[in-house]
Amino acid sequence: MNRVITYGTFDLLHYGHINLLRAAKQKGDYLIVGLSTDEFNLHQKGKKSYFTYEKRKQLLEAIRYVDLVIPEDSWAQKHTDVDQYNIDTFVIGDDWEGKFDFLSTESGIEVVYLPRTPEVSTTQIKADLTNMNDKDKSKDF
Ligand code: C2G
Protein backbone atom coordinates (compact mmCIF):
# COMPACT_ATOMS: atom_id res chain seq x y z
CA MET A 1 0.00 0.00 0.00
CA ASN A 2 1.79 3.10 -1.27
CA ARG A 3 0.61 6.17 0.64
CA VAL A 4 0.88 9.57 -1.02
CA ILE A 5 0.54 13.07 0.43
CA THR A 6 0.23 16.50 -1.14
CA TYR A 7 -0.55 19.97 0.21
CA GLY A 8 -2.25 23.11 -1.02
CA THR A 9 -4.97 25.75 -0.74
CA PHE A 10 -7.11 24.40 -3.61
CA ASP A 11 -9.23 27.56 -3.72
CA LEU A 12 -11.83 27.95 -6.51
CA LEU A 13 -11.14 24.32 -7.40
CA HIS A 14 -10.28 23.97 -11.10
CA TYR A 15 -9.05 21.36 -13.57
CA GLY A 16 -5.40 22.18 -12.84
CA HIS A 17 -5.95 21.01 -9.28
CA ILE A 18 -7.80 17.93 -10.51
CA ASN A 19 -4.93 17.06 -12.90
CA LEU A 20 -2.50 17.28 -9.98
CA LEU A 21 -4.67 15.17 -7.68
CA ARG A 22 -5.23 12.53 -10.38
CA ALA A 23 -1.47 12.30 -11.06
CA ALA A 24 -0.70 12.22 -7.33
CA LYS A 25 -3.11 9.32 -6.79
CA GLN A 26 -1.48 7.45 -9.67
CA LYS A 27 1.72 7.44 -7.62
CA GLY A 28 0.13 5.13 -5.03
CA ASP A 29 -3.00 3.62 -3.54
CA TYR A 30 -4.04 6.16 -0.92
CA LEU A 31 -3.90 9.95 -1.24
CA ILE A 32 -3.92 12.38 1.66
CA VAL A 33 -4.32 16.12 1.03
CA GLY A 34 -2.95 18.60 3.58
CA LEU A 35 -5.37 21.47 3.04
CA SER A 36 -4.14 24.93 4.03
CA THR A 37 -6.34 26.41 6.76
CA ASP A 38 -7.71 29.94 6.43
CA GLU A 39 -5.29 31.16 9.12
CA PHE A 40 -2.30 29.47 7.44
CA ASN A 41 -3.27 31.06 4.13
CA LEU A 42 -3.62 34.51 5.65
CA HIS A 43 -0.62 34.58 8.01
CA GLN A 44 1.88 32.27 6.29
CA LYS A 45 0.99 32.28 2.59
CA GLY A 46 -0.25 35.87 2.38
CA LYS A 47 -3.41 34.92 0.56
CA LYS A 48 -7.10 35.01 1.44
CA SER A 49 -9.07 32.18 -0.11
CA TYR A 50 -12.50 32.80 -1.55
CA PHE A 51 -13.93 29.62 -0.02
CA THR A 52 -13.44 28.82 3.66
CA TYR A 53 -11.48 25.79 4.79
CA GLU A 54 -14.67 23.82 5.43
CA LYS A 55 -16.02 24.51 1.91
CA ARG A 56 -12.65 23.71 0.28
CA LYS A 57 -12.48 20.49 2.34
CA GLN A 58 -16.00 19.53 1.26
CA LEU A 59 -15.04 19.97 -2.40
CA LEU A 60 -11.83 17.94 -2.08
CA GLU A 61 -13.61 15.10 -0.25
CA ALA A 62 -15.94 14.78 -3.24
CA ILE A 63 -13.03 14.01 -5.57
CA ARG A 64 -12.58 10.32 -6.36
CA TYR A 65 -8.76 10.54 -6.11
CA VAL A 66 -8.76 11.96 -2.56
CA ASP A 67 -8.92 9.51 0.37
CA LEU A 68 -8.34 11.84 3.32
CA VAL A 69 -8.15 15.61 3.90
CA ILE A 70 -6.17 16.93 6.89
CA PRO A 71 -5.49 20.56 7.89
CA GLU A 72 -2.23 22.20 6.91
CA ASP A 73 -1.55 24.88 9.50
CA SER A 74 2.25 25.06 9.55
CA TRP A 75 5.12 24.72 7.09
CA ALA A 76 6.87 22.39 9.56
CA GLN A 77 4.16 19.74 9.86
CA LYS A 78 5.27 17.74 6.82
CA HIS A 79 7.81 15.67 8.79
CA THR A 80 5.29 14.69 11.44
CA ASP A 81 2.61 14.01 8.83
CA VAL A 82 5.00 11.70 6.96
CA ASP A 83 5.59 9.74 10.18
CA GLN A 84 2.03 9.83 11.50
CA TYR A 85 0.45 8.70 8.20
CA ASN A 86 3.26 6.35 7.09
CA ILE A 87 3.77 8.28 3.87
CA ASP A 88 5.86 6.78 1.06
CA THR A 89 5.59 9.57 -1.52
CA PHE A 90 5.27 13.35 -1.37
CA VAL A 91 3.83 14.99 -4.50
CA ILE A 92 3.45 18.66 -5.42
CA GLY A 93 3.46 20.88 -8.50
CA ASP A 94 6.79 21.84 -10.04
CA ASP A 95 6.30 25.48 -9.06
CA TRP A 96 7.81 24.09 -5.83
CA GLU A 97 10.67 22.31 -7.61
CA GLY A 98 13.44 21.50 -5.13
CA LYS A 99 11.74 23.15 -2.14
CA PHE A 100 10.85 19.87 -0.42
CA ASP A 101 13.87 17.71 -1.25
CA PHE A 102 14.66 17.68 2.48
CA LEU A 103 11.77 15.24 2.91
CA SER A 104 13.70 12.73 0.83
CA THR A 105 17.03 13.22 2.61
CA GLU A 106 15.58 13.52 6.14
CA SER A 107 12.50 11.28 6.01
CA GLY A 108 13.65 8.92 3.27
CA ILE A 109 10.50 9.20 1.18
CA GLU A 110 10.07 9.74 -2.56
CA VAL A 111 9.57 13.40 -3.51
CA VAL A 112 7.84 14.04 -6.85
CA TYR A 113 7.35 17.43 -8.54
CA LEU A 114 4.65 17.22 -11.18
CA PRO A 115 4.17 19.66 -14.07
CA ARG A 116 1.53 22.30 -13.38
CA THR A 117 -1.35 22.78 -15.80
CA PRO A 118 0.06 25.97 -17.36
CA GLU A 119 -2.95 27.96 -18.51
CA VAL A 120 -5.13 27.96 -15.41
CA SER A 121 -4.74 29.39 -11.92
CA THR A 122 -7.02 30.65 -9.17
CA THR A 123 -5.38 34.08 -9.48
CA GLN A 124 -6.13 34.20 -13.21
CA ILE A 125 -9.74 33.12 -12.67
CA LYS A 126 -10.24 35.96 -10.18
CA ALA A 127 -8.65 38.48 -12.58
CA ASP A 128 -10.75 37.30 -15.52
CA LEU A 129 -13.95 37.49 -13.52
CA THR A 130 -13.09 41.03 -12.40
CA ASN A 131 -12.46 42.07 -16.02
CA MET A 132 -15.69 40.48 -17.20
CA ASN A 133 -17.56 42.29 -14.46
CA ASP A 134 -15.94 45.62 -15.34
CA LYS A 135 -16.82 45.13 -19.05
CA ASP A 136 -20.44 44.41 -18.18
CA LYS A 137 -20.59 47.53 -16.03
CA SER A 138 -19.10 49.74 -18.76
CA LYS A 139 -21.69 48.64 -21.35
CA ASP A 140 -24.15 51.43 -22.30
CA PHE A 141 -27.57 50.17 -21.51
N1 C2G B 1 -1.52 23.25 -9.45
C2 C2G B 1 -1.31 22.71 -10.73
N3 C2G B 1 -1.70 23.41 -11.81
C4 C2G B 1 -2.30 24.62 -11.68
C5 C2G B 1 -2.53 25.16 -10.40
C6 C2G B 1 -2.12 24.44 -9.28
O7 C2G B 1 -0.76 21.60 -10.86
N8 C2G B 1 -2.69 25.30 -12.82
C9 C2G B 1 -1.07 22.47 -8.30
C10 C2G B 1 0.00 23.20 -7.47
O11 C2G B 1 1.29 23.01 -8.04
C12 C2G B 1 -0.15 22.50 -6.12
C13 C2G B 1 -1.66 22.17 -6.07
O14 C2G B 1 -2.15 22.25 -7.42
O15 C2G B 1 0.58 21.28 -6.13
C16 C2G B 1 -2.42 23.15 -5.20
O17 C2G B 1 -2.18 24.46 -5.69
P18 C2G B 1 -2.33 25.69 -4.66
O19 C2G B 1 -3.65 25.62 -4.00
O20 C2G B 1 -1.92 26.93 -5.38
O21 C2G B 1 -1.25 25.28 -3.57
P22 C2G B 1 -0.04 26.16 -3.02
O23 C2G B 1 -0.53 27.52 -2.68
O24 C2G B 1 1.06 26.01 -3.98
O25 C2G B 1 0.26 25.44 -1.63
O26 C2G B 1 2.90 23.40 1.74
C27 C2G B 1 2.65 23.48 0.35
C28 C2G B 1 1.63 24.55 0.04
O29 C2G B 1 0.48 24.43 0.86
C30 C2G B 1 1.23 24.47 -1.44
Mean pLDDT over 31-36 rounds to 98
pLDDT in the model for residue 141: 61
Mean pLDDT of the chain: 96
Name the percent of the chain lying above pLDDT 70: 99
Predicted pLDDT at 29: 98
By most ligand atoms within 8 Å of CB, the mutation choice from 10, 53, 69, 95 for ligand 1 is 95
Distance, CA 8 to ligand 1 centroid (Å)? 5
How far apart, in whole angstroms, are the C-alpha atoms of residue 16 and residue 21?
9
SS3 42: helix
Number of separate domains in the chain? 1
Mean pLDDT of 92-98: 97
Domain holding 18, by residue range, is: 3-138
Residue nearest atom 2 of ligand 1, based on CA coordinates: 116
Does the pLDDT at position 111 exceed 80? yes
Is a pLDDT exceeding 70 seen at residue 16?
yes
Atom from ligand 1 closest to the CA of residue 78? 26
pLDDT at 140 > cutoff 80 = no
Q: Give me the CATH number covering residue 127.
A: 3.40.50.620
Handedness of CA 81, 85, 87, 93 (dihedral sign): negative
47 is annotated as an active-site residue: yes
Q: Within 6 Å (CB) of ligand 1, which residues are found?
A: 7-10, 16-17, 19-20, 36, 45, 72, 92-93, 95, 116-117, 120-121
Q: What is the pTM of this model?
A: 0.95
Q: 21 C-alpha vs ligand 1 centroid, how far in Å?
A: 10
Give the CA count within 13 Å in the CB-facing half-sphere of 88.
Answer: 10
Q: Which atom of ligand 1 is nearest to the CA of 19?
A: 7
